Structure formats: structure tokens, C-alpha cells
Chains A and B, each alone.
Chain A
Amino acid sequence: MSAPRLNTDRLVEVGVQAEVAHPSHSGTYSVDSYGRPIILPGMAGVVANARVGDLVFPWAADHLEPGVSAGNPQRDRYQALQFLACVGNVVRVLSGPAAGAEGRVTGKHAFVLVDFPQEALDMLAPGDTLLVRAVGQGLRFLDFEDVAARSCSPALVEGMGVEVSADGRLQVHVTAEVPAFMMGAGLGMSSEWANCDVMFTRREVVERLGFGDVRLGDVVAMHDQDHRYGRGYRAGMLAFGVVAHGGYGGVPGHGMGVATIFSGPRERFEIVRSPEANLRNHLELAA
């Protein structure tokens, strides 16, 4: 067993400006999978009491984005932030009472999701400015040319303990494996943009498929999914991602969001099931 060879020394690290986004609302109800009108929180702003490492589902929330949701009010800058930020990147607070606090990118959705120490989360407010030290797009596994890394920092690969097995496969620890028929909103989009929802919008489906113990920040495998150049169904392909957003209060076709980190042919990988495969451990996130 050895660590996979990466082109880490060829990657450039870029400072990207962001700010804590303010929640917004259409002013009308959406509809959940039981046909009920719903208005639920979860997206944008600061969620101070649901963090990476917590369970995905037992929250009265829709698209629950744990910690801080970082955006940029200028559309072209927002797109740069979306495409350049990678899971594991270091983020620093630039303004407000939490200035100087340091966090890590833990996922993507409509915003770039950042975990900070609890003390900082309790002080941060929409409008506070952030600096993302973006590095990772362009990452390659040098001995696995048909495996594509997407929004994955070298620090994440190292933290995950990805290793090359004796028979030449990338050994990846995951907490769960997602069947293709559960993949919903996010298919058809760019691999790097936001994430892809696993359609857990009803408690009975979560229980039937055995996903009740999945946590925000878990590394999961997605079967028959090709996430190299966009996201879609392809038999025999595998995609890996981190659970970025959660909550039970789901609009149909949405659910638990998984941000893509790498993808390739099934035979390039050895999947190991492990309950410890979570970003809280991999990125050594502060309490």
C-alpha cells in the first residue's frame, strides 16, 4: 500500500473573495414529497447548530447547508468561487467580530459550504467577508489517467487516506453506497458546480435503503455514475463525493446533496466501508 502520486506541486493556489450569503425566499410555498406546502430554512447564511459530522436527516430543514454558506453577490465572481473552491481548502474570515478565524471548505451547493470553529460560527453574520485559498482544480492522479478529480484538494486526498492497493486500485473508505436510481437534481450539470442530490425526501425511503446513520461530511460512493465531464448515468462507472447538504423536509427530486470529488471506471477502485469516513476526521475540523 502506498499513497497515490498526485501533481500537487503543479497546482496553483488562488485567493478568492467570498462573503457569508444572506438567505432569500420567493415568498411562496414549495411542496414536499407528501404533497404538503412547506417553508423551511436551511439554505444560505449561517447554520450554527448543524455541522459537518452531525446526522443528515433529523432536521426540520430543506437543503440544510451546515455551517457557513459562502457566495459572492457579483455573478461572475460567484461562478469563479463555485468552480475554483475545492473541498478541504482553507478559508479565513476577513471582517466582523470573527475576523481571523480559520475554517475549511466542506462541500458545495448553491454556495460554497465552510465549517468554522463553533466560537466563530456563533459570531459570523451574512455580509462578513471571507477569503478562500482555492487549490485543487487541475488535480490529477498521475498513475490513474482515467480517474478525474473534481473540486478535490490534495489535502482531502491525503486526509482521506486514499491508498493504492496491492492490485493497483485506489482504495477509498466510504460510509455508504448510493444506487443510480436515487440520483436526482444535479444530473446534467458540470461536475464542479454545486452537487448532485440523492432523492431522500421521505423518511420511509431513508430507512428502507439504510441511510439513517449517514452524516454531513461523509464520503460516499455513487454507483453507475460518471461525474468526469458533467454528471450522469453510465453503467460501470463510479463517482465519489462528500455529503454536503441534508435535512428531511425535502422537495421531490432533491434531498441529500453529494458534492463530487472524483470519478472513474469501477475497476480502478476498491471500496472499503468505514463509519469513520467523514470530513470531520479527514480535515481534522475544530470543535
Chain B
Amino acid sequence: MIINGNELLRTALVGDVTSPVMGVNPYDVTADGVPFVSVGAGGICYTVRVGDAAGGWAADQVEPGASIANPDPAANEALLLYACVGNRVTVRTGAAAGAAGTVTGKHEAFHAYKHVLVHFDPDVLDALVPGDRLLVHACGRGMRIEDRPEIACHSLGPELWEAWAATGERLRVTRVLAPEVVGMGSGRVSGATSVALQTGADEALDGLRIGDLVAVRDWDATYITGYHEDRVTVGVVSTGDSPVLGNGPATTILLSGPAAAFDFEVDAGANLADLLDLG
């Protein structure tokens, strides 16, 4: 499959390493009505990396690696729209200046933050601090698949496309899911967001890993995310699981279109860690 790679612009966007934020009352509530303090979103996570299990952490939607945002809300919207999974990132300031990373996903929390998630090697993560400025070499917005114009491409960088889909006619995903798995995230602008997978809704979600490529049937994200029979959406798992009802691993939208336009090969190894060689 061929994309319009020579038409795509590469543009510079800036995001700063974030720090976690909290309200005065620290408690969220689990599905069983137990109060807990949310850990894992915002800042730098040294523990959890792309390729690790999505579940089993004492955390709420843990963001692997560095979580970045632009402090100006309008500029952050652009960062969220233009940054694509697989794009290269360069550290501009601080002790890790010059180090390179990779965009691995996006994470939107309702009426709260919108983050882009960046993978770095462990020694770079150790050197990064909140406030460090990162340059995202954004490329992918405007992507089209040459003989599949009915498929919408979203947060999909050409770097990931080359590693994942450029060769072969079938698209590798770890699983194809039922539409009721989608929890929070319906009705959002497809190109800038992630949607939560409710891990209790489909046994096929057992063993899910951060970085897994997944497809959801009867679900559309051509413009805005929502139920649509006979359409399919493909995304990449970007965060860990959540104890909150209707939430779960945030999944960044990559492709969406009519079911007939897709031919999947279910491959448990279809994960960003392998495809993008994230050490």
C-alpha cells in the first residue's frame, strides 16, 4: 500500500515536559465505589514503557515515558492535531538537550489536559525534567492511502506507516474488538484525541499491551468518533488501564473507514515497541 508521502509537510511544533496536576480533593472513585488517588498521567514515568502490559499497574491511565503539552491552549490544540505516532522528537533544553525520542500517542482527559506522549531511552528520561522544551518534527497530517481514498488517516506518521503497513496487503493488528469496548472518547475530534477501551467489555482485551495496534468494528472516526455500523477504526494503545468506570487504556486514532476497505492480519506482535524499535 502506498501513501502520498511526497505531499506531506514536516513542521516544527513545541511541547514542554509536563508535571502532574491535581485538585484540592485528591480522590477519584473506582468502579466499585472505592476512593483512590490517581497516579500516572502527566510528567515523566520511569517505570512503564511502551511494550509493557496495559493492565496491572497501581495507576490510572499511566502515560509511558515523557508527557508533553504546549502551555498555550491554542498551540497545544495544534500540537495535538499535527503530532503523529512515529514522529521524531528532539530535546531542545536542559540536561538532555540534543537527545532524540519518538511520539507514541496522545491522551485527552475530559475538561482537563491534552498530552502528547514521547518515548525516550531510560538514560534520557533520567535527565529530563518538567519544563524541558521538546521539538516535535510533525509529519502525517494530510496522509492518504493511494488506492484507498475512503480511509481517513489521523495521528499516523509516515515513520510508523513504513514500519507497519507499507509492505504487504494486510494490516497487522493485535485484535479486532466489539464496539461496546469504547468508553470515554465518543464524540471527539478524531485527529487530536484518544478514546478509552473498557477492558471489562471484551475478553479479547486480555493481555493488552501499551503500543498494541487494535481495530474496533462498527466504529467510525472519519471526522468525529462514534458508533457507525460496517465501519472500522484502527488505533494504538497509548496509556495503561484505569479503575474508573467507562475508562481504560487511551487509544490514539490512526485510521478509519468502511469495513470493506480493510483486510486485517491478527498478529500478537503488532506493537509499537517492535515496529519502531523502541529500546
Contacts and interface: CB of A to CB of B under 8 A. Distances in A.
A184 B187 contact: yes
Contact of A254 (B29, B198, B220, B226): B226
Which one of A181, A228, A234 has the highest number of Cβ atoms from chain B below 10 Å of its Cβ? A181
A234 B184 CA distance: 14
B244 A188 contact: yes
Given A187-B246, A230-B246, A252 B228 contact: yes
Contacts of B200: 233-235
A231 B186 CA distance: 13
A252 B226 contact: yes
B245 A229 contact: yes
Contact of B187 (A228, A232, A233, A251): A251
B261 interface: no
Contact of B29 (A187, A230, A234): A230
A205 interface: yes
Contacts of B184: 187-189
Chain B interface size range: 35 or more
Interface in A185-224: 185, 187-189, 197, 199, 201-202, 205, 224
A31 interface: yes
Chain A interface size range: 20 to 34
Interface in A111-146: none
Given A188-B110, A226-B31, A253 B246 contact: no
Nearest to B218: A181
Interface in B227-247: 227-229, 244-247
A180 B180 contact: yes
A182 interface: yes
Interface in B138-187: 178-187
The 8 tightest CB contacts between A and B, nearest first, are A188-B184, A253-B187, A252-B226, A232-B246, A253-B226, A253-B186, A188-B246, A232-B245
Interface of B: 29-33, 110, 178-188, 196, 198, 200-201, 218, 220, 222-229, 244-247
11 contacts: A189-B184, A201-B226, A205-B229, A226-B245, A231-B246, A232-B244, A232-B247, A233-B198, A234-B245, A252-B228, A253-B226
